[in-house]
Chains A and B, each alone.
Chain A
Amino acid sequence: MIEVSNVTKSYGGSEVVRGVTSSLPANGVTSIIGPNGAGKSTFLSMISRLLPMSSGQVTVDGMDILTADGDAMAKKLSILRQDNHLTARLTVRDLVAFGRYPHSKGRPTSEDLAHVERSISYLGLDNLTHRFLDELSGGQRQRAFIAMVLCQDTKYVLLDEPLNNLDMKHAVAMMQLFRRAADELSKSVVLVLHDINFASCYSDLIIAMRDGKLVRQGAPAEIVTTANIQEVFDLEARVEIVEGRSIVHFYL
Chain B
Amino acid sequence: MKYFLLACLGVFALGVLSLFIGVSDVTPMTLLDPATSTHAFEMLMVSRVPRTLALVLAGAALSVAGLIMQMLVRNRFVEPSTAGTVESASLGLLVVMLLAPGLPVILKMLVAAAFAMAGTAVFLGILRRVPLRSEFIVPLIGLMLGGVIEAGTNFFAFRYDLLQSINAYMIGDFSAILRGRYELLWISFGLTCVAYVAADRFTVAGLGQDFTTNLGLDYRKVMALGMVIVSLVTATVVVTCGVIPFLGLVVPNIVRLVIGDHLRRTLPWVALLGAALVIACDIVARLVIAPYEIPIGTIMGVIGSGLFLYFLLRRRGYGE
Contacts and interface: CB of A to CB of B under 8 A. Distances in A.
Contact of B261 (A79, A81, A90, A105): A90
B73 to A, nearest CB: 9
Interface string A107-140: 0000000000000000000000000101111100
Interface in B292-313: none
Contacts of A172: none
B27 interface: no
B319 A141 contact: yes
A90 B210 contact: no
Contact of A135 (B204, B214, B317): B317
B210 A79 contact: yes
A78 B212 CA distance: 11
Contacts of A72: 216
Contacts of A94: 260, 262
> What 7 A-B pairs have minimum CB-CB distances, sorted nearest first?
A74-B216, A106-B200, A71-B216, A88-B206, A88-B261, A89-B261, A89-B260
A101 B260 contact: no
Contacts of B211: 84, 98
A135 B319 contact: yes
A101 B216 contact: yes
B216 A102 contact: yes
Given A98-B207, A141-B319, A49 B213 contact: yes
Contacts of A89: 256, 260-261
Nearest to A95: B207
B317 A81 contact: no
Interface size class of A (residues with CB under 8 A): 35 or more
A87 B206 contact: yes
B218 interface: yes
A70 B262 contact: no
B270 to A, nearest CB: 13
Contacts of B200: 101, 105-106
Interface size class of B (residues with CB under 8 A): 20 to 34
A84, A87, A91, A98: most-surrounded residue (chain B CB, <10 A): A87
A48 B215 contact: no
Contacts of A86: 207-208
A151 B36 CA distance: 66
Given A75-B216, A79-B214, A94-B262, A134 B206 contact: no
Interface string A127-165: 000001011111001000000010010000000000000
Contacts of A99: 215
B203 interface: yes
Interface in B103-153: 135
A85 B261 CA distance: 15
Given A90-B262, A91-B260, A106-B264, A74 B76 contact: no
Nearest to A100: B215
A211 to B, nearest CB: 25
Contact of A137 (B75, B218, B260, B319): B319
Contacts of B256: 89
B319 to A, nearest CB: 6
Contacts of A81: 210
Interface in B66-100: 71, 74-76
Interface in B241-265: 256, 260-262, 264
A73 interface: yes
B250 to A, nearest CB: 16
A99 B209 CA distance: 15
Given A90-B260, A98-B207, A136 B319 contact: yes
A63 interface: no
Interface string A31-65: 00000000000000000111000000000000000
Interface string B274-287: 00000000000000
B318 interface: yes
Contacts of B76: 87
A102 B215 CA distance: 6
A70 B319 contact: no
A138 B318 CA distance: 10
Nearest to B316: A134
Given A50-B214, A102-B215, A138 B319 contact: yes
B217 interface: yes
A78 B262 CA distance: 22
Contacts of A87: 74-76, 135, 206
Contacts of A135: 317-319
A223 B45 CA distance: 82
Nearest to A137: B319
Contact of B204 (A101, A134, A138): A101
B95 to A, nearest CB: 35
25 contacts: A50-B209, A69-B216, A70-B218, A71-B217, A74-B214, A74-B215, A75-B216, A78-B214, A87-B74, A87-B135, A88-B71, A88-B74, A88-B206, A88-B207, A89-B260, A89-B261, A90-B262, A94-B262, A101-B215, A134-B317, A134-B320, A135-B318, A135-B319, A152-B214, A152-B215
